[in-house]
Every structure is written in C-alpha cells, then in structure tokens.
Amino acid sequence: MSTAAAQSQKQAAFQHSDGWFARLNCRFEAGPEKTIVRRSHQGPLCIQRPLYPEGATAHVYMLHPPSGVVGGDVLDVQMSVAEAAHGLVSTPGATRFYRSEGPVARVAQRLEIKAGSMEWLPAENIFFAGSNSILKTTIELSADASLAWWEINCFGQHALQKPFTQGCVSSTMDLVIDGKPTLRERLEVSDDFPIRMSCGLRNNSVTATFLMTPMPESSIDFARSQIAQDKLFVATWFDSLLLIRYLGESAEEARAGFIRVWSGLRQALNQTPPMLPRIWAT
C-alpha cells in the first residue's frame, strides 16, 4: 500500500458520516529538571513538541490541522497535571466554527490539575453565522493546585461585517475544587437567545472570561488597575478566585487586557515570573 493510500485509510477511520472525530490526551508530569509531557492522539488533533523557554515549565501548542470545525465534528481533549508539574497550553491561531446545515459540532475539554499548575491560554473561538456548536469544559482542581484559564468567544465576522444572524452556540464551563462545584459559566446564543438580548450579549459580538486561582483578595486591586480605563471589563473576587469578564467588539482588546492581568499576577499565582509564549509574537 502506498503512503498516500495508507494516510487516506487512516483518515477515514476517524471520519464519520457527518464530520471528523478527534481525541487528544496529554499529561504533564514533573521530571528531575523540567515538566515532562506524555501525549497521544487520534484523528486531526495534536500538540507540537513541548518547548521550554523558561526552564521547567512546558509550553505546548494545540493544533487542529483542518483549521476549522464543521457540523458533525467531535473534538475530545483530556489534559491532566500531576503534582509539581507546570504546563502552559495555547494555540497558534483562532478556532473557527463554520456554518452548518444541521449537524452539531461538539468540543469537550476536561482539565484535571493535582497539586500542579495549568495555564490554559488559547486564541479566540470564532463562530460563523449559521454555526451549530456545543462546547463543554470541565476543570477539576485539588485545593493546592493553581490555574489560569481563559475563553474568548467571537460571534460572526465583525471585521468583514458578517454578523451572527443565525445559528446556535452553547458553551459551558464547570470548575470543581476538591470535589466541590465552585463556578459554572453558561452561554447560549441562538434564535431563542439572540445577541441583541439585554440579559445576554447586548448586541456585542465578543464575550470573554478569565479566571485565576488561588489568588489573594488583594489581587483584585491590581486587576482593576489594569482594566480600569476600559468599561468593557469587570473584575470580581470570591473564594480565592479572581474572575474577569469582557463584553465588547474586539477579541484583541479582550486578550490584551487578560495578558496585562496575567503578566502582573503570575508570580503570585505559581511563583513564576511572566514570560509570553513565543507563538504570540508570530
């Protein structure tokens, strides 16, 4: 069998009638000098070889070669961090959810952090008009673990003046600390809950959430000092959790605000000075 034929057969094994199925398993473990990354994948979802620009912390970039998610696709991401390990996860670019003729695109992400540190800092999700997508994120932390996590969602193609006029997007995030449900974020944009709703996006096209834990109560003063000039951000603190939300029209603006806060508070979060992932400069 030729190489091309073998590759085609391999792809067919992970493609079902409506779309692609892809799974990524990744585990961060403490090594003698640096965090070791053990990984496996099925289908078109993988991570690059880990980088170590700051020594022990493993920087990994999650890749989805098809460059977009269509109706019927299923992406399953499982990541865990063992004791004393430190992983930072990002993506090389935005994840695009394309228009669907009916089938649902599903993304499930499960993060488990045990006495280690995880920083989940991907580029934005862009939902094209007509997208039919369900995103579910579950994060389980031990009380002595640390987490920085954000999600930036863009509805429609604002720069091209193509608004999100139809479609259905459901996104949930559940944070569980030591077995106790601590935070649930839920967002739905659909015909029943359109962007223009006053109790929803209020006609804005970008919404974003950033959390860091555990953080001292004083962290909110610094966070507010970094976003005070922009009324599109709001910061709260409770139960050692710093939570920042953005509602506006610019993914770049949301991420820039989050980066300012993350950079200033990273040392307090996990005793590591700030170092921007190299991929953000490309």
In the 3-class helix/strand/coil scheme, how is 79-145 assigned residue by residue?
Answer: EEECCCCEEEEECCCCEEECCCCCCCEEEEEEEEECCCEEEECCCCEEECCCCEEEEEEEEEECCCC
Q: What is the pLDDT of residues 194-232, one digit of tens each?
A: 888 877 788 899 999 999 999 999 999 999 999 977 779
* Residue 8 belongs to a domain: no
Residue 64 has a pLDDT of 85
Does residue 73 lie within any of the structural domains?
Answer: yes
Residues 144-185: tens digit of each pLDDT: 999 999 999 999 987 778 889 899 999 999 999 999 999 999
* Cβ density class 242-279: b for 16+ within 10 Å, e for less: bbbbbbbebbebbbebbbebbeebbebbbebeeeebee
Reported as a pLDDT band with limits 50, 70 and 90, residue 4 is very low
Is residue 10 pLDDT above 80, yes or no?
Answer: no
Answer yes or no: is 261 within a domain.
no
Residue 6, φ and ψ in degrees, nearest 5: -65, -40
The answer as to whether 208 is a domain residue is no
Least confident of 7-16, 98-107, 118-127, 235-244: 7-16
Residue 253 in this model has a pLDDT that exceeds 60: yes
Which structural domain range is residue 103 located in?
A: 16-203
The mean of the pLDDT values for the chain is 90
Residue 242 located in a structural domain: no
Asked if the model's pLDDT at residue 1 lies above 50, the reply is no
Mean pLDDT over residues 224-242, rounded? 91
Whether 269 maps to a domain, the answer reads no
Averaged pLDDT, 74-80 = 97
Which range is least confidently modeled, 1-15, 150-164, 204-218, 262-276? 1-15
**Is 212 contained in some domain?**
no
Domain count, the chain: 1
Distance CA 63, CA 22 (A): 11
Predicted TM-score (pTM) of the model is: 0.91
- Domain assignment present for residue 125? The answer is yes
Higher-scoring residue by pLDDT: 197, 7: 197
Low-confidence winner among 21-25, 59-63, 67-71 (lowest mean pLDDT): 67-71
